[in-house]
Chain A
Amino acid sequence: MLTRRYFLRSSAIAVAGMGAAPAWILRAAAPQTRKQKILISIFQRGAADGLNIVVPHFEKRYYDLRPAIAVPAPGKPNGAIDLDGRFSLHPALQQLKPLWDSGQLAIVEATGSPDPNRSHFEAQDQMESGTPGKTTDDGWMNRALPRANASTSPVRAIAIGAKMPRTLRGNCNAVAVSDLQQFQVGNAPAAGILESMYASSSDAQLGSQGKETFEALKLIASINKTPYQPVNGAQYIGEFGNALRQIARLIKADAGVEAAFAEIGGWDHHSNEPGQLPGLLNQFGNSLAAFTRDMGDRMQDIALVTMSEFGRTAAEDGNNGTDHGHGSVMFVLGGPVHGGKVYGQWPGLQPEQLFEKRDLAVTTDYRAVLGELVRDHLGQSIEPVFPGFKPGNPLGLLKT
């Protein structure tokens, strides 16, 4: 059955196709999306060093293990930014402090996959699959999407970049976009031929992707009619900032986004970590802060979560860096988040407390964090998303 919203959306698309897309049609077409809950997943590829991102400055052992690369305690020159007397943020993350203070930012410590894998690509594949110890063809976030209906947006699930991350691969339509402004067919007369060619192709893989491409093209063309200006002084920096800017633009255009993905690479600091981490964290923190500012009260509908495939060795290695480890840290950001609190049980850094005597242990399964967001934010059940996972006591990450 055709709903009013479907009709309006179709009209918007039709109008857009003819070269004029009044914003009101789009907005009118998507009245429900204003209340649409949105989940955003950020992947830090390369195994981010959780211990230097959120610093356990109360642990004397942290400083013993990392004489050359530890972040100085709060109050010292270039010291970390105190959060709760026990944990503190790396100084390059200062822009996240106001979000912590206003209760929008929660931190989960000693979290990660229960699988002891230390291979980047396997651990990433498994984390994105949502199945520790094995890889599935589809990603956890795709499985977390409700079944599509006539009013589902062609950009309901969007990844920013030239590749589709496993997190969003699967049965539900998902699109990858490098840059909204350039998401258009250069040769308009050929577009119709190609649309039909892809739609009728017997190539299962390319045919369906082609169909999604042409649907997304029409919607994005109408969004592109209105130039985008971030508000509230939001300044996105770097490639990661640009990715979040694209997501912000789609959400504010009421394009019907339900799930979004962005990534930031370069965390594999086997050497000279103090020379590399601050710049990366600066881009990371600034971009998240800019996104929050830009979204304004739309953050009420948004939960954003960050993750990395594993953490790094508790002790520094021989070259002022760290090697592949185990437990790490996750950030959960958004209006519905019960923030200003460090979640998870701290396992300690004494030799017998470390995983395999070398890495921060995992006391909170990353699926416990994502599962709460899937269930309490998106309103979906956890089992199909994380098959076989039995959540323990809820963390209580979201306000109820």
Chain B
Amino acid sequence: MKRLGFMLSAAALLVAGWTIFGSAAGRFDVKLTLDKQMVHVLNRMTFGPRPADLAEVRRLGVDKWIDQQLHPDRIPQNPALEAKLKPLESLQLAMWQIMDKYNAPPIGALPPMVSPLSTLPPLQVSKLTNGGSVEEKKAVLASLDPDTRRRLLATAPPQMMEGLPDELQQEAIKARQAEQEARQMEMRRLMPPLNELITPEQMRLARQGNPADKLALMDSFEPAKRQQVVRALGPQAFQDVPELRREAMLLTQPQQLVNSELIENKLNRAIYSNRQLEEVLVDFWMNHFNVFNGKGQDRVLLTSYERDAIRPNVFGHFKDLLLATAKHPAMLFYLDNWQSQAPRDDLPVPVGPNGAPVRRPGLNENYGRELMELHTMGVNGGYTQQDVIAVARAFTGWSIYDPNKYGEYQFNPAVHDRKEKIVLGHTLPPGRAEQDGLDVIDILAHHPSTAKFISRELAQRFVADDPPQALVDRMAETFTKTDGDLRAVMQTMFTSVEFSSEGAWQAKLKSPLEMVVSAVRSLNADTTDVFALAQRIADLGEPLYGHVEPTGYPNTGESWTNTAGILGRINFASALASGQVPGVKVDVSRFNFKPPASVAGDLLGYAPSASMLSSMEKGIEGKEATPSMLTGVVLSSPEFQRR
């Protein structure tokens, strides 16, 4: 019996060749039926079909629908999306405005303890902190007025205190303690503890009340008190009230709010935008040119990076996209280029105020390497370690004007490496400043390895994990012929036999983002808050904007198919279907009294396999199968994990 079962399923595997990962080779020449094509384009060029989408593709015809997605300006935007994006204030601001508003210390926080060192004459500073003798240090301290002396001792760096006698050490400890106590008092005055601000009953409402209770309670306070209460409660207390959560974040962790709004922006667009391919492409290129939100200032720089560098270029020329990322402070900061300078031996050594040489920064290879390996040529594209160094030297001076305050790109000629460089056989003559980097962008954007690598990456996202080489070659040809016109390259791909073939059908596994968003879309669910959805996606292994390494998230299925991933998806699906994901309103009443076959067919867009159907039918025999249970099961199925 067991043996027979095995042989039967082996036979089924052969018949349904498309479901076997990697075994689809040879079937990329068999065209899908028209019905399948319609589901297929929706699965590949959107974040999953909404219930009405199939009818729209049928009405327009597949070719016309594809063409429309390739020209998003011809698609009227969904008015619901605008309303969802409206509360996200940071998205409407220019980069400098974001820096201005959210980079400041949290409102009400005490200014950091400032050492009066910076106000002293350089010679005194040098004596105190840079190897002055004990007698010299004592003399400087004796010359200060009592207040400056007290503040200096309270904030003294360890090297300043080194070797000083006990009585001065004691004085410093006392000064530090007094300063700390004073600050604590001030903090308490500015931010009284919660139990001094509100009654126990109010506290209970604020913590356990429903969203309306919480809003009403906060509205009942004077503005100043409201600020104190909201800050004391913090964002944790308002997980279920988006507007209060944002208010609390602005008060306690403003930088985090920028990132949180960027995530809300992404999910709302993925769920609601009518220009779905555009959103898929923004996600694809953000991942290709990955920047990690956990690295310092990148938290506040990413909003502009996506909006101003990536989004305007996803249907444009690759070179423009590449240059926009190369110049954006988010990338300059992430891969350290902003502080990369001509090798130390190449420039005169600067001298500090005390006459001693100052050690200035030198060369950093980080960006130069990833630019070729990940952004353009691919790891086997044919560059050497010498090319990495030459590219890094070419980009010296591509920097950021004050990354903590303004965060704008600036070329700094003073630190640029002026010598001649040879990049991939091209000679960059000496002394051409910013033009060096521009030339490198040009060389890389037109390199044949780049045409192949970018084409393969796109085909891997849209066709199959191991896309047919013939297709990649034709895309690369278009890339070269059109000077890297990405729309043209995608046209070659989307109109190819391979794209619409049995080999590509259901060959891709959804990433966590794709799985979660496609489930929400398939149910036409309404979101009032996407915060919980973002958390779910992170739990499934894809925290948005949160990939540490420059490689980005994998484009292929094997890293997502594992026990943790499958269980996570199962649990998300049933929570979603039964309305247990906060902020997401789900209505499955359209499945009332519907049999499993109809629920599965509706959510998948095609008729479920016999084995899937029989598992469902046997499983509900003699039980009450609610629509939400059936929905959860279909969204958990192997079929729904593919696109």
Contacts and interface: CB of A to CB of B under 8 A. Distances in A.
**Binding between chains A and B:** yes
Q: Which of A137, A217, A268, A323 has the most CB of B within 10 A?
A: A323
Given A200-B611, A203-B19, A270-B366, A164 B561 contact: yes
Contacts of B641: 206
A201 B611 contact: yes
Interface stretch (B311-319, B355-363, B452-460, B485-493): B355-363
Contacts of B339: 271, 318-319
A202 B19 contact: yes
B197 interface: no
Interface string B195-235: 00000000000000000000000000000000000000000
B34 interface: no
A163 B615 contact: no
B308 interface: no
Interface stretch (A86-94, A140-148, A183-191, A294-302): A183-191
B442 to A, nearest CB: 24
Given A209-B561, A212-B563, A318-B344, A204 B20 contact: yes
A174 B564 CA distance: 11
Contacts of A194: 570, 615, 633, 636-637
Interface in A164-212: 164, 169, 174-178, 183-187, 189-190, 192-194, 196-198, 200-207, 209-210, 212
26 contacts: A121-B549, A122-B379, A162-B564, A175-B564, A178-B541, A185-B570, A186-B575, A187-B629, A190-B629, A190-B632, A190-B636, A193-B633, A197-B615, A198-B638, A202-B19, A202-B20, A205-B21, A206-B509, A206-B642, A209-B563, A212-B563, A268-B549, A270-B365, A271-B336, A317-B362, A319-B336
Q: Which of A67, A169, A205 has the most CB of B within 10 A?
A: A205
A191 B40 CA distance: 29
A270 B619 contact: no
B119 interface: no
Interface string A298-326: 00000000000000000001111101100
B19 A356 contact: no
B548 A193 contact: no
Contacts of B361: 318-320
Given A196-B618, A203-B638, A270-B366, A176 B565 contact: yes
Interface stretch (B274-282, B443-451, B551-559): B551-559
Given A189-B629, A210-B566, A317-B364, A197 B549 contact: no
Interface in B8-29: 9, 12-13, 16, 19-21, 23
A67 B385 CA distance: 24
Contact of B562 (A118, A119, A175, A271): A175
A212 B567 CA distance: 11
Interface string B561-580: 11111111011001100100
Nearest to A265: B548
A324 B369 contact: yes
Nearest to B641: A206
Contacts of A137: 558
Given A187-B574, A201-B638, A324 B563 contact: no
Contacts of A186: 570-571, 574-575
Among A177, A187, A265, A324, chain B packs the most CB atoms within 10 A around the CB of: A187
**Most chain A CB within a 10 A radius of its CB, from B336, B562, B611, B616:** B562
Contacts of B359: 67-68
Interface in A253-281: 265-266, 268, 270-271
B629 A175 contact: no
B385 A176 contact: no
Given A271-B364, A317-B364, A323-B365, A213 B567 contact: yes
A116 to B, nearest CB: 8
A66 interface: no
Interface residues of B, number: 71
Nearest to B359: A68
Q: Is the interface of A mostly helix, strand, loop or mixed?
A: loop
Name the residue in A193, A266, A356 with the highest tally of chain B Cβ atoms < 10 Å from its Cβ: A193
Interface in A108-123: 118-122
A213 B366 contact: no
A384 to B, nearest CB: 21
B540 interface: yes
Nearest to A215: B563
Contact of A206 (B23, B340, B388, B566): B566
Interface of A: 45-46, 67-68, 118-122, 137, 159, 161-164, 169, 174-178, 183-187, 189-190, 192-194, 196-198, 200-207, 209-210, 212-213, 216-217, 265-266, 268, 270-271, 317-321, 323-324, 356
A168 B336 CA distance: 33
B296 to A, nearest CB: 9
B551 A121 contact: yes
Contacts of B362: 317-319
B320 interface: no
A193 B343 contact: no
A213 B568 CA distance: 11
Contact of A163 (B385, B541, B633, B637): B541
Contact of B571 (A185, A317, A320): A185
B563 A192 contact: no
B528 interface: no
A171 to B, nearest CB: 14
Given A177-B564, A318-B361, 15 more contacts: A68-B359, A121-B551, A122-B379, A162-B540, A164-B559, A186-B570, A193-B618, A196-B619, A197-B612, A197-B619, A201-B612, A204-B19, A205-B21, A209-B561, A323-B364
B609 interface: yes
Contacts of A119: 369, 373, 379
B539 interface: yes
Q: Which of A137, A209, A321 is the most central at the interface, judged by chain B CB atoms within 10 Å of its CB? A: A209
A375 B13 CA distance: 38
B541 A162 contact: yes
B2 interface: no
Contacts of B366: 268, 270-271, 323
Contact of A318 (B12, B340, B548, B561): B340
Contacts of A175: 562-564
Given A119-B373, A197-B612, A323-B365, A46 B548 contact: yes
B539 A319 contact: no
Nearest to A266: B548
Contacts of B297: none
B46 interface: no
B620 interface: yes
A161 B564 contact: yes
A186 B628 CA distance: 14
B590 interface: no
Contacts of A209: 561-563, 565-566
The residue in A190, A210, A268 that gathers the most chain B C-beta atoms within 10 A of its C-beta is A190
B615 A196 contact: yes
B43 interface: no
Contacts of A68: 359
Nearest to A186: B571
Nearest to B362: A318
B568 A162 contact: yes
Contacts of A324: 365, 369
A321 B364 contact: yes
Nearest to B578: A187
A213 B566 contact: yes
B31 to A, nearest CB: 22
Contacts of B571: 185-187
Contact of B558 (A162, A169, A174, A216): A169
Contacts of A197: 611-612, 615-616, 619, 633, 636-638
Q: Which of A46, A197, A204, A217 has the most CB of B within 10 A?
A: A197
A161 B541 contact: yes
Contact of A321 (B336, B549, B568): B336
Contact of B9 (A185, A200, A206, A318): A200
A45 B561 CA distance: 21
